[in-house]
Amino acid sequence: MSPTRTAVVVEDDDDIRELITHSLTMQGFEVSAAASGLAGVELVVATDPDLVTLDLGLPDLDGIEVCRRVRDVSQAYVVMISARTDEIDRLMGLEIGADDYLTKPFSPRELQARVNAMFRRPRAVRVNGSEAATDSAATTATTDARADEASRDDAPHTLVRHGRIAVDPEARIVTVDGNEADLTRTEFDLLTTLISAPRRVWSRAVLLDSLWGPGWTEEHLVEVHVGNLRRKLSRLGPAGHRAPIRTVRGVGYRMEEPDAF
């Protein structure tokens, strides 16, 4: 029923490249693989994949640079893979645009679980509309009146507004005062979720569950992505004001009343 999903695997180690390719193929992906960063970027441009797995240590470009280049040309989910846990922690703070991180060694099952979790996220709307949004929560915030007309690509998109922030869930664009924020998929999904019920306090556990899927306990992930999201929004807002995402101590996050921001 659903169209075949495609993946690009970028990994210089032959065994691991084979393992990931096999694992994703078993999961129903059509996989292309590259053994270097440059070849990987070329493959992404050529195949416009839904998923990219990216080894951090590559012989030509490092994985961070490859990730940035992939992000420039692709909306794919990106999983960064590294043998070092401390590297993963550093990467999460760098805003390089990866959606998930995996530490070597990992089992095919673990990779499959991660990939499933990413693709299950509620508002992972594909650009071509092959996966529709399943969560009606997004329409409960302030929306344009045209919202419910079955809009197609030409029709004006529904915008969800919160002060200076405007979210276009269909085009997956966020603007602050009309300037587009360069958000990762995860950051976008996080903001869309918070803004869908702006008075609600969202616990880290609930956000983790709705964005990453059930079974996750790494609440630290949510904190890191909220931090990055805030920074990116704040940059585009009025000087001296922070993005209106409040930390509710001991619980989680909620949107603040739009005031100056």
Contacts to Ca ion by CB under 5 A = 12, 55, 57
Could you tell me the smallest distance in angstroms from the CB atom of residue 98 to Ca ion? 16
H helix runs in the chain, sequence order: 14-26, 37-47, 63-73, 85-92, 108-120, 185-196, 204-212, 219-236
Distance (Å, rounded) from C-alpha 23 to C-alpha 95? Answer: 27
**Comparison of 43 and 207: residue with beta carbon closer to Ca ion:** 43
**Comparison of 11 and 100: residue with beta carbon closer to Ca ion:** 11
Helix (H) or strand (E) holding 82: strand 77-82
**Comparison of 54 and 159: residue with beta carbon closer to Ca ion:** 54
What lies within 8 Å, CB to CB, of 168 at 6+ separation is 157, 158, 159, 160, 174, 175
Distance (Å, rounded) from C-alpha 114 to C-alpha 197? Answer: 27
Could you tell me the smallest distance in angstroms from the CB atom of residue 224 to Ca ion? 24
Distance (Å, rounded) from C-alpha 230 to C-alpha 195? Answer: 13
Could you tell me the smallest distance in angstroms from the CB atom of residue 12 to Ca ion? 5
Could you tell me the smallest distance in angstroms from the CB atom of residue 84 to Ca ion? 11
Could you tell me the smallest distance in angstroms from the CB atom of residue 66 to Ca ion? 11
Closest CA to 117 of 218, 192, 15, 43: 218
Could you tell me the smallest distance in angstroms from the CB atom of residue 82 to Ca ion? 9
**Comparison of 86 and 259: residue with beta carbon closer to Ca ion:** 86
Q: What is the DSSP letter of 157?
A: P
**Comparison of 12 and 131: residue with beta carbon closer to Ca ion:** 12
**Comparison of 80 and 138: residue with beta carbon closer to Ca ion:** 80
Q: How far is CA 165 from CA 174, 188, 209, 215, in A?
A: 7, 12, 25, 32
Q: Coil, strand or helix: which one is 70?
A: helix
